Structure 1
């Protein structure tokens, strides 16, 4: 998981799951969160959801759809590539997302999930 340098880590699996499912709208310090994800069909999305969030991608999509259709929330911002993910997370205060570890540069920080 990656984050804007302003985001404080580490983070529990439960907190990460709540943020990515859009149930939690602020970080631990009260900063509004901006969530960025890759398209549902991306292998990196599938791997992140299963291994890091310990959920299934369809469960995440279902949670987003329920919130959007009920008017109680919104879905995360979908970016087209890991490079776009890095750029958007690096320039958006309170942003979180995910990329392969080898792509992480000095513009974002890695958040450890406990």
Structure 2
């Protein structure tokens, strides 16, 4: 019996040592369900989030929304999208603003606020955990682990 308990205890500790599912949650780029965009490439998403493109391929004005620096999904998004950390992304936007070439996307503090922004702006585009996407938005790019 003690060996069985030790075995079960070992399994419990092993499970506790595994990284949490939330740390590995898939991110999804979502758009307003009525904007007419069904899928996007990684480069198209980069161009919109970095102000290089102002419209989707169908001519609808893109209205990107970002997360606050303090939100963990923001760092994961830019790392998965470009392999860059937030200091590099923020430095890019500082240069753009200083030179008058552009303004960064509006920032909000939660996935629910991203969903609200995307659904209330015809060209809304943002990123959230894929599991939080619902019928109000269309997933156009999934960013796996």
TM-score w.r.t. length of structure 1: 0.89
Q: Which structure 1 segments of 5+ residues have no match? A: none
Q: After superposition, what is the alpha-carbon deviation per residue over 1:86-110, rounded to whole angstroms, capped at 9, x for unaligned? A: 1110110111001111111111111
Distance in structure 1 (CA, Å) of the matches to 2:90 and 2:36 = 25
Q: Which structure features the higher share of helix residues?
A: 2
Q: Which has the larger radius of gyration?
A: 2
- Superposition deviation, residue 113 in structure 1: 5.5
Query: Where does structure 1 differ by over 4 angstroms across 4 or more consecutive aligned residues?
Result: none
Q: Which structure 2 segments of 5+ residues have no match? A: 1-28
Q: After superposition, what is the alpha-carbon deviation per residue over 1:25-60, rounded to whole angstroms, capped at 9, x for unaligned? A: 111112111110101231111111112x12313332
Q: CA RMSD in A?
A: 1.7
TM-score w.r.t. length of structure 2: 0.71
Q: How many residues end up aligned between the 2 structures?
A: 113
Distance in structure 1 (CA, Å) of the matches to 2:122 and 2:83 = 26
Equivalent in the alignment of 1:66:
95
- Superposition deviation, residue 23 in structure 1: 1.6
Q: Does 1:110 align with 2:139?
A: yes
- Residue 38 of structure 1 contacts residue 79 of structure 1 at CA under 8 Å; is this kept in 2? yes
